């Protein structure tokens, strides 16, 4: 009886710190960390095809990943954006659907918010949230 109590105490003393130190990040924790790290390491990105990524953020309360882009050159034209809005929205949706890097977030019900701003005025030219509620 005394030996089993000693064994239990030793096992508890060894396993308790291990069990309490095992911290499993949630998918929300991962999203928050990944967005912060990407933004810190890469943003703002260089302009490519008249677009750059300014930042990526995560809002935990509604599980939304926000992508902030800046448009310049010919893409920085509110009239052209308005004329091409249906095609642009379809392209955003298609690219989102084909993106395999965000599959785990999509399956978990995360939302994705895309904001495209003008480099010349700072105004929002295009905005989309997927999936739609």
5 within a domain of the structure (yes/no): no
| Inside any domain, residue 8 | no
**Quick check: is 6 in a domain?**
no
Bridge-partner residues for 66, per DSSP? 57, 113
- Tell me, yes or no, whether 10 lies in a domain: no
Rounded alpha-carbon distances, angstroms, from residue 53 to 45, 64, 94: 5, 17, 19
Number of domains, the chain? 1
* 94-112 residue pLDDT tens: 999 999 999 999 999 999 9
Could you tell me the end-to-end alpha-carbon distance of the chain, in angstroms, rounded to an integer?
A: 61
Does a structural domain hold residue 77? Answer: yes
Q: What is the pLDDT of residues 31-90, one digit of tens each?
A: 999 999 999 999 999 999 999 999 999 999 999 999 999 999 999 999 999 999 999 999
**CATH number, position 44:** 3.30.300.250
Residue 114 lies in a domain: yes
Question: Which range marks the domain in which residue 77 is found?
Answer: 25-130
């Amino acid at each position: 009886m005394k030996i089993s109590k000693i064994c239990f105490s030793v096992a508890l003393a060894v396993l308790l710190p291990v069990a309490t130190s095992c911290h499993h990040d949630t998918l929300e924790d991962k999203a928050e960390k990944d967005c912060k790290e990407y933004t810190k390491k890469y943003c703002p990105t260089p302009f490519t095809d008249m677009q750059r990524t300014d930042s990526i953020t995560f809002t935990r309360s509604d599980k939304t990943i926000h992508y902030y882009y800046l448009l310049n050159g010919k893409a920085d034209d509110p009239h052209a954006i308005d004329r091409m809005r249906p095609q642009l929205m379809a392209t955003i949706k298609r690219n989102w659907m084909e993106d395999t890097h965000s599959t785990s977030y999509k399956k978990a019900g995360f939302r994705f918010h895309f904001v495209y701003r003008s480099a010349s005025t700072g105004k929002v030219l295009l905005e989309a949230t997927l999936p739609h509620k």
